[in-house]
Amino acid sequence: MSPLARRIALLPVLALLGAACASTQTQNEPWIEVRSANFRFVSQIDELRTTELANELELFQGVLKKLTNAREFEPRVQTTIFVLRDTYAYRLFAPRGSAGVFIPLQRANFAVVDAESKRISASNVLLHEYTHYVVHNDATFTYPRWYDEGFAELMSGTDVEKEHIDLGLPLAHRQMSVQDNRFLPLRKMVTDDRRVTEVENRILYAKAWRFLHYLRYGSRVGFPDRSAQVSRYLLRFNEGATPEAAFREAFGTSFEALDQEFEEYLRKGQLRGLRISREGFPDPAPPTARRMSAAEVATELGTLALAREDTERAESLFRAALQIQPDDARAVLGLASTLRQRTGPLALLDRSGEVDALYARGLELAPDAALSQLDYAAYLLARAEDMRAGEEQSKLLSEARVHLLRAIELDAKLPEAHAKRAQSYLEFEGQDSAAGLAAAARAHQLLSSNAEINYLLALGLFRADRLAEAKQLASAARLRAFRKVEGLDALDDQIDAALAAAPPADAPPVSAR
């Protein structure tokens, strides 16, 4: 392709990206895709800096392996990290004022990084959220919220250097005073963290990080070594002990006494982390890189915009991709999904059948792609939701399941396909709830970090009258949600009412293994 033709092909993408991408620099620095063992990057910056970021994240995952109880690190779904050249471009795909974005979905994780920040490394937010993702995928263990957030913050203060790795570095945005500490007493943080106010919630992140920092590293500056007690506390918590009992048995002291001890640690101001040698962390395999076409870039950014529920931007980007490459199944199905979301419950009546035609076209273009089958099934389920129970709804549900089984045949480890099967049984009247429970359990086995999947499994367990397990999964769904989970509040109320009416019964914790 000639330089002139290349510039012409890029024009639709540049126009849609706005002023940040309208400069000649964008044209002179083509987008690249970089793949490492566990991550995929869609990058607007040069290959050297992108591969450095990939290596940092691979090493960070190695640190997580050593410091967590998580047993499996095989990527459950693909994690794509968008590296945008400057802050203006970043703000087109991220909330204003944010330091980084991590969007965990059932088919993929999406992250956004601003390359104009002072240092091109995985931001604190990215490390924090990726820590949550890895830890939550260990379905055999649950963490109380203060520990969950405190550990993610602790891990976000990781710095990878050539000869060593620093862990638990101080976080400038999590400063707190002794007065702040007293505003959220330890007892409230540990036992009542779901009912904290907005101000208390801000302090919770700072205190949870510093308190866990103290428990892990306080002995290095003359305080009692409480690191083993943390493990004991988590074990008792997972065995079903109340927060108060788990705390008392593990730490052997009162909330108030340990809060005073923690305040002394704060007054010293000695928040040292841990430096470990790089010797135990072999260099990751070299990432691979390739240049991306203008159509690919538009489709990738459209997919990101859709994941963020920015349907206006997503529609523009998918249409731009199709102007360049009309037979791109991903762009066709992306546009179809975007239009379905934009038109709401009357999707079939809007746009003169455009949505229906796009889904059919996308499936025709790539019938042997698992995501094509999945997208078409999701469309059929959305149509079923728009009508009352009856013969026509049953036909749509049956057809959706055919496509979902085909998606699973093509990719048996695609969590969203199993979750959609569960939805087709559990969220519609008169369906086989036992089949829904089995599908939800499989989805949970594949991706227990996902809040919607936890909700579906909780719903299936509730329908099977396994109330204690249902409550456990509903609580996990609430903890792991990054956006509102429809139906969770109502289900929680139903479970609580059923538990109050039922005689006490012991139930083993749910295990997806």
Question: With 90 as the cut, is the pLDDT of residue 451 above it?
Answer: yes
Give the best-scoring range by mean pLDDT among 17-26, 54-63, 92-101, 394-403. Answer: 394-403
d(CA 321, CA 302): 9
Which whole number is the average pLDDT over 143-172?
85
Could you tell me the pLDDT band of residue 12, with boundaries at 50, 70 and 90?
very low
**482: CB partners within 8 A, 6+ apart:** 102, 103, 104, 451
Residue 239 — pLDDT band, cuts 50, 70, 90?
confident
Q: Please indicate, yes or no, whether the overall pTM of this predicted structure exceeds 0.85.
A: no
How far is the C-alpha of 183 from the C-alpha of 188, rounded, in Å?
Answer: 10
pLDDT tens, residue by residue, 483-509: 889 999 999 999 999 999 987 655 555
> How large is the average pLDDT for residues 351-364?
88
Give the pLDDT confidence score for residue 349 in this predicted structure.
Answer: 47
* CA–CA dist 227, 217 (Å, integer): 8
pLDDT band at 510 (very low <50, low <70, confident <90, very high): low
Average pLDDT over residues 39-47: 94
- The amino acid that residue 88 corresponds to is Y
Closest by alpha carbon to 453, among 489, 490, 480, 425?
480
CB burial of residue 248 (10 Å; 0-12, 13-18, 19+): middle
Residue 62: predicted pLDDT? 83
Q: Does pLDDT of 16 surpass 50?
A: no
DSSP H helical segments within 71-165, as ranges?
87-92, 124-136, 145-156
Spatial distance between the Cα atoms of 403 and 415, rounded to a whole number of angstroms: 15
- The average pLDDT across 474-489 equals 88
Write down the residue that tokens 């059932």 correspond to. Answer: 106
How, if at all, do strands 159-160 and 108-114 pair? Answer: unpaired
HSE-CB at 66 with a 13 A cutoff on CA atoms is 12
Pairing of strands 40-43, 78-84: parallel
Distances in Å between the Cα of 370 and the Cα atoms of 250, 403, 409, 446 are: 48, 9, 8, 16
Q: Please tell me the distance from the alpha carbon of residue 93 to that of residue 366, in angstroms, as a whole number.
A: 28
User: What are the residues facing 102 on neighbouring strands?
Assistant: 111
Flag the least confident range among 112-126, 163-177, 266-280, 462-476. Answer: 112-126
Instruction: Collapse the DSSP code of 399 into the 3-class scheme (helix H, G, I; strand E, B; otherwise coil) and give the result.
Output: helix
- The secondary structure of residue 184, as a DSSP letter, is S
Beta-bridge partner residues of 84? 114
Distance of CA 388 to the CA centre of its chain: 33
> Percent of the chain beyond pLDDT 90?
49
**Residue closest to 170 by CA, chosen among 269, 264, 101, 98:** 269
CA distances from 346 to 264, 350, 387, 396, 486 (A): 61, 7, 10, 16, 19
**Three-class secondary structure of residue 289 per DSSP:** strand
The three-state DSSP-derived secondary structure of 73-97 is CCCCCEEEEEEECCHHHHHHCCCCC
Looking at per-residue confidence, does 128 or 445 come out higher? Answer: 445
Question: Which residues, at least 6 apart from 77, have a Cβ–Cβ distance to it below 8 Å?
Answer: 105, 106, 107, 108, 109, 415, 447
Dihedral angle sign, alpha carbons of residues 237, 239, 244, 247: negative
